[in-house]
């Protein structure tokens, strides 16, 4: 299974994440996908910076497309956003199975006629709590072996406010009405989540620490020391997810501590959408 990693984040931002000890979207998605199926190979295309597929390579060479997170907003009328909207629409219309997290869900929704806005409830950063599957979500293959209510890593300020034609909401929480959705039109399919199943505690610790001043200004933390404590605790949990003291302190359960439960959406997408599509091309 050959997967295109549709990079939605500018290269400068990804390099900054690396400079702060984080892992890039390319690394996170490659690791998450291959951890769920060793048959996966990936190729990354930095769409926002204007990269094109190499000569001799086409979208039809891929069995699936994953769209990464991004600091951009779909309502910004700039070339890097317009190019991504156009390619997301092309991927969907080509019938290639696609999956998006955070920006990926927002991007595909906007590309297919939906609306994205700045969330009036504010930023959701760290752990998105009590994401609840609705009736459609409980019966959906993306959530096979997932708890009916769960927490997940997150970092976003925008949300999908109006879904496009053919979309069904699968999960919500108190911050975002659309925490997960599927868009289908005929045999075309996109699965998207507002949270980040590709993240781990280390990635969240890096994002919180890197943006400490912003979080303090928004009232999400009170002092730099408070932010530093959260960062240190999350890094400790990444190194040792059995730390009972920290599990108790942050009210954590297996949905964030167990990588297979965190990433089950990828496993289900590969098994339900990508493998059959790849097989049909053989």
Catalytic residue annotation: 102, 196, 198
Distance CA 127, CA 144 (A): 21
Number of Cβ atoms within 10 Å of the Cβ of 93: 12
Distance CA 247, CA 206 (A): 19
Contacts of 59 (CB under 8 A, 6+ apart): 4, 53, 65, 90, 91, 94, 96
**Is 107 within 8 Å of 84 (Cβ atoms)?**
yes
Residue tagged 């590309």 (tokens): 111
| Strands 180-185 vs 188-193: parallel, antiparallel or unpaired | antiparallel
Distance CA 215, CA 239 (A): 24
**Is 29 within 8 Å of 42 (Cβ atoms)?**
yes
Residue tagged 């997967």 (tokens): 3
Q: Quote the longest CA-to-CA distance of the chain.
A: 57
Axis-axis angle for helices 103-111, 79-93 (nearest 10) = 80
Count Cα atoms within 13 angstroms, Cβ side, for 225: 0
Residue 171 Cα to chain centre, angstroms: 14
């Amino acid at each position: 299974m050959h997967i295109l990693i549709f990079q939605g984040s500018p290269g400068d931002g990804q390099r900054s994440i690396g400079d702060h000890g984080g892992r890039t979207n390319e690394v996170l998605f490659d690791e998450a996908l291959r951890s769920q199926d060793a048959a996966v190979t990936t190729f990354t295309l930095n769409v926002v910076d204007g990269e094109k597929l190499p000569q001799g390579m086409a979208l039809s060479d891929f069995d699936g497309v994953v769209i990464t997170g991004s600091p951009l907003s779909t309502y910004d009328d700039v070339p890097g956003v317009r190019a991504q909207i156009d390619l997301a629409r092309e991927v969907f219309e080509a019938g290639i199975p696609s999956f998006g997290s955070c920006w990926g869900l927002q991007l595909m929704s906007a590309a297919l006629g939906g609306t994205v806005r700045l969330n009036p409830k504010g930023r959701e950063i760290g752990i998105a709590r009590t994401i609840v599957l609705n009736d459609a979500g409980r019966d959906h293959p993306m959530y096979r072996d997932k708890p009916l209510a769960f927490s997940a890593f997150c970092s976003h300020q925008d949300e999908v406010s109006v879904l496009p034609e053919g979309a069904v909401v699968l999960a919500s929480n108190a911050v975002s009405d659309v925490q997960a959705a599927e868009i289908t039109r005929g045999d075309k399919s996109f699965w998207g989540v507002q949270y980040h199943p590709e993240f781990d505690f280390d990635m969240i610790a890096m994002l919180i620490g890197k943006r400490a001043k912003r979080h303090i200004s928004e009232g999400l933390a009170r002092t730099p020391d408070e932010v530093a404590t959260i960062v240190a605790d999350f890094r400790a949990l990444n190194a040792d997810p059995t730390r009972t003291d920290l599990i108790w302190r942050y009210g954590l359960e297996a949905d964030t501590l167990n990588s297979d439960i965190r990433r089950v959406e990828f496993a289900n997408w590969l098994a339900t959408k990508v493998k059959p599509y790849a097989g049909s091309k053989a």
